[in-house]
Chain A
Amino acid sequence: MKNLFVALAVLLACSQAFAVEPSEILDDPVLESRAREISKELRCVVCQNQSIDDSNADLARDMRVLVRDRVRAGDSNQQVLDYMVSRYGDFVLLTPPFKASTYALWLGPGLIGILGIFALVNFYRSRSKLETASGAPSQTVVAGLSEDEQKRYDKLLENDQV
């Protein structure tokens, strides 16, 4: 039983693990937490879907060290990010910036959602309009029928009902 607890404790401790190696960590906890914050925003350009904070790739480690060097040298978070963007382009940011070339990316889903809501509202509106026009909500109006034909059609449907 005791062993089980130890095993669980070890597992929990492991889940906290990240790619940052002890030798990289800065002595100043404030600077270190800023470096971690920046690292989480930067894409590892080798593995591409991990941040450099998560990645074990050599280049990611070197980028983490560079981030720490710059933070220690007095750069603001934005200045560090800007430097990386000037080398690798917007791709290096895990959150794409909001600008002309990314409007479709940021606004597209919302726009399609709004169009969908409009289409839905329109659909239900026109349906209820048709229902009130025919008088009885259960009856359907078939487009293109003359008045006589519509009467005959309604009668047929009535006869059909048990």
Chain B
Amino acid sequence: MKRFTYLLPLAVFLVIAGYFAVGLTLDPKKLPSVLINQEVPEFSLAPIKGSDRGFSSADLKGQVSIVNIFGSWCYACLAEHPVLMRIKEQELVPIYGIDWNEKDPDAGPAWLQKQGNPYSLVGDDPDSKAAIAFGVTGAPETFFIDKRGFIRYKHTGPITVSLWKQTLYPLIEELRKQ
């Protein structure tokens, strides 16, 4: 036993190095959401300019839906936009939009006019009230809501076609069965 004590510092080093090796491969921008399996936070957002209906937490009850946080200033949102448009065209699931952090109230509506509007309802969130309630750290973020109005999954970053087909749509079908 005594012979191996000189290996102890090496063992300690290997343990610490192991933690670092794992830790350094994690993306610090990807925070685990504490809201998974919790009810959607209560919010009530005004309509964006040019629309007469806003978006509130009550709209999410009774159906499987997704909530997408976007902004006209957000380039990654532009990247996922065609995927959202296809989801709408194929009527796969209703998408609700939170137009987040617009400096100019015309910017969001103009962006949707130009790119197409995939959202069933859009709420205007210029001062991050709903975004903070959802624990949002950046756009785009997408929340998957079950029939009871509980958050079941959160995706950070743009939705790609392959991700939609392999993970996200199967998840929605799963939620519909429950």
Chain A residues engaging chain B, CB cutoff 8 angstroms? 45-46, 48, 58-59, 62-63, 65-66, 85-89, 91
Chain B residues engaging chain A, CB cutoff 8 angstroms? 28, 31-35, 41, 101, 127-129, 131-138
Query: Are A88 and B135 in contact (CB-based, < 8 A)?
Result: yes
Instruction: Kindly state the separation between the CA atoms of A89 and B138 in the bound complex, as whole angstroms.
Output: 16
| Selected contact of A87 from candidates B101, B127, B134, CB within 8 Å | B134
The B contact surface, by secondary structure, is: loop
Query: Are A58 and B101 in contact (CB-based, < 8 A)?
Result: yes
Query: Are B28 and A87 in contact (CB-based, < 8 A)?
Result: no
Query: Are A45 and B31 in contact (CB-based, < 8 A)?
Result: yes
Q: A46-B137, A59-B137 are in contact. Are A66 and B132 (CB under 8 A)?
A: yes
Closest to A66 in B: B132
B174 to chain A, nearest CB (A): 25
The A contact surface, by secondary structure, is: helix
Q: A63-B128, A65-B127 are in contact. Are A89 and B137 (CB under 8 A)?
A: no
Q: A58-B101, A87-B34 are in contact. Are A66 and B129 (CB under 8 A)?
A: yes
Chain A positions within 8 Å of B133 at CB level:
87
B88 to chain A, nearest CB (A): 28
B97 to chain A, nearest CB (A): 18
Instruction: Kindly state the separation between the CA atoms of A45 and B127 in the bound complex, as whole angstroms.
Output: 16
B82 to chain A, nearest CB (A): 26
Chain A positions within 8 Å of B128 at CB level:
58-59, 62-63, 66
A19 to chain B, nearest CB (A): 15
**Known contacts A45-B31, A59-B128; can you find 7 more A-B pairs with CB under 8 A?**
A46-B138, A59-B131, A62-B132, A66-B129, A88-B34, A88-B135, A89-B34
